[in-house]
Amino acid sequence: MKDVILTGLRANDELTLGNYLGGILPIIEIQRKYSQQYQINMFVPDLHSFTTPIDHSKLQDSIINNLKVYTAAGLNLDDDNTFIYRQSYIPAHSELTWILDCFTGVGEMSRMTQFKDKSKSNFEKIQNEVIKKIDSNKTKVRNLNESIDENYSIKQLKKVFNTISELYIEKYDEIIELLKDRSNFNNASVGLFNYPVLMAADILLYNAKWIPVGEDQFQHLEITRDIAERFNKKFGPIFTIPKKTSEQVKFINRDKGLRIRSLTNPDKKMSKSNQNPKSKILLTDDPKQAYKKIMSATTDSIGQINYDWQNQPGITNLMTILSLLSNQDIEQVKQTWVGQTQYGELKKAVAKAVADFLTDFQTKYNAVDKAKLQAKLEQSEQAMNKIAKETLLRAQQAVGLRP
Ligand code: ATP
Ligand code: MG
């Protein structure tokens, strides 16, 4: 039996160049590097995907599109040691989650910071909605105020005051509606709370030892180990205990700390949730449009190209993108550009690399063989169902559900 490396292929619409370079390529790299000696489980966490609200009518499409992105990025569907499967197609994930739930403390789960963060951000979302509603009237009120001069008649003044009152009453009603809807106010679901236990099932079902996760998942990996150890202590060796996070990081450091910066504010990282389209390159961007975005990227007024994240993050970001997309190591790029004074020339080189990359990527994306993808999924799901069922049965027998 080969050791199992397990990783999720997260579904996300609107992926950025940052997600591609820092999130997707490292996964492809894992397959390329380890698929000879290891069994590689790559699963689409579709059950996880609505722990926070989504548009359910788009879920099917986004699952397939997401897999197409990975395939276009180089995921090899022909590799026999790689299994690509949808979590919900293997019922054991849900079944084992329930069993594990009954051996997990509310106390230990309440310490999970991702749950705390995500439920907090829901609260903040509502706060922002309220502020937006109030703000939307500010200009109208200010304009009304400014339209009053000393020659106004009482009648006209009254009219202005009435309009202002109406504006506020209308917003007041809307805000009360917003706050009254409890699901709106605190829509952190039990599913979100329970997320780490489902993740424990994802891992334990396949006896996976290696789970290359980012820092945000360390806590969830540790709780998986805790749950598994507790279960084994009580019932005997049912589960394979995954390696500690410290060992995981030594084995596969998936997050090498690469952070592509925002094009409009290079002190911050490029994020898909940034509302300003000029701040990010999306994988779906028209190459011509992307070219323009790079040309108008924020740089600095120093006037000389240096590789310096501190003082020239914009320029340094552009050199980093150039290096990653043109397959040159950063030293080569530095040798060509550091010391030069024409920012425009560097921008043109980067813009061309980005536009060429998008053209190539989009061509590959559109050419992904959907039938082949579907066949790979079905094949993997069949094989994984078998393994998952075996583990589930051991757990069911342990707790007395099966003879
Ligand atoms: P959001 O703004 O919603 O947080 P995001 O763009 O930060 O979106 P995530 O979903 O948080 O994306 O992260 C997905 C993956 O992409 C992770 O592996 C993360 O490390 C990687 N990633 C995100 N942003 C960047 C970036 N700017 N540079 C490199 N990698 C990134
Ligand atoms: Mg993020």
Q: What pLDDT score was predicted for residue 355? A: 98
pTM to 2 decimal places: 0.84
116 as an active site residue: the answer is: no
Ligand 1 residue neighbourhood (C-beta within 6 Å): 12, 16, 18-19, 21-23, 214, 255, 258-260, 269-273
Centre of ligand 1 to C-alpha 254, Å, is: 13
Nearest C-alpha to atom 30 of ligand 1 is from which residue? Answer: 22
- The token duo for 66 is 């997401």
Instruction: Check for a shared fold between 4-108+189-258+369-399 and 277-366.
Output: no
Q: Give residue-wise pLDDT tens across range 41-86.
A: 999 999 999 998 888 999 999 999 999 999 999 999 999 999 999 9
Superfamily for domain range 277-366: Tyrosyl-Transfer RNA Synthetase (1.10.240.10)
Place of tokens 């739930």: 101
Most confident of 64-73, 110-119, 186-195: 64-73
Catalytic-labelled residue, pool 209, 269, 280, 376: 269
- Identify which has the larger pLDDT, 129 or 239: 239
372 as an active site residue: the answer is: no
Centre of ligand 2 to C-alpha 126, Å, is: 20
Cα separation, 80 vs 194, whole angstroms: 33
Q: Give residue-wise pLDDT tens across range 333-370.
A: 999 999 999 999 999 999 999 999 999 999 999 999 99
| Whether the predicted pLDDT of 182 surpasses 70 | no
Centre of ligand 1 to C-alpha 213, Å, is: 13
What are the boundaries of each domain within the chain?
4-108+189-258+369-399, 113-184, 277-366
User: pLDDT grade, residue 7 (50/70/90)?
Assistant: very high
2 as an active site residue: the answer is: no
CATH of domain 4-108+189-258+369-399: 3.40.50.620
Q: Which ligand is nearest to the CA of 18?
A: 1
Q: Which of 165, 166, 148 is nearest to 157 (CA)?
A: 148
User: pLDDT grade, residue 184 (50/70/90)?
Assistant: low
Q: Give residue-wise pLDDT tens across range 123-173.
A: 667 777 777 777 777 777 778 777 777 777 888 788 888 888 888 887 888
